[in-house]
Amino acid sequence: MEERTKLLIALGAATAANCIPCFEHLYYEAGVAGLTSEEIQEVVDLASKVKNGAHIALKNSIQDMMGLEEKYDLPCSA
């Protein structure tokens, strides 16, 4: 796998994991590797959707356990 792809995946993982020190380090490395702000923003937006989807899935599971019918749409399917 090429270095740029590895960095984009790692930036997405750092975003989803809320690891600010990881993101800061990887952001520097991404700049050295020539990634653009647009590429980085795209991966951050995608990772944020996945992270939000996990949170909504948790909320839906809790709703089920509590016997509540309200469900939230997952952003992953949009």
Q: Are 16 and 47 in contact (CB under 8 A)?
A: yes
Q: What topology does CATH give the domain 3-67?
A: AhpD-like (1.20.1290)
What is the model's pTM?
0.80
CA angle in degrees (0–180, nearest 5) for 45-37-46 = 15
pLDDT tens for the chain, residues 1 to 78: 999 999 999 999 999 999 999 999 999 999 999 999 999 999 999 999 989 888 898 999 999 999 998 888 877 665
User: Where are the domains positioned within the chain?
Assistant: 3-67
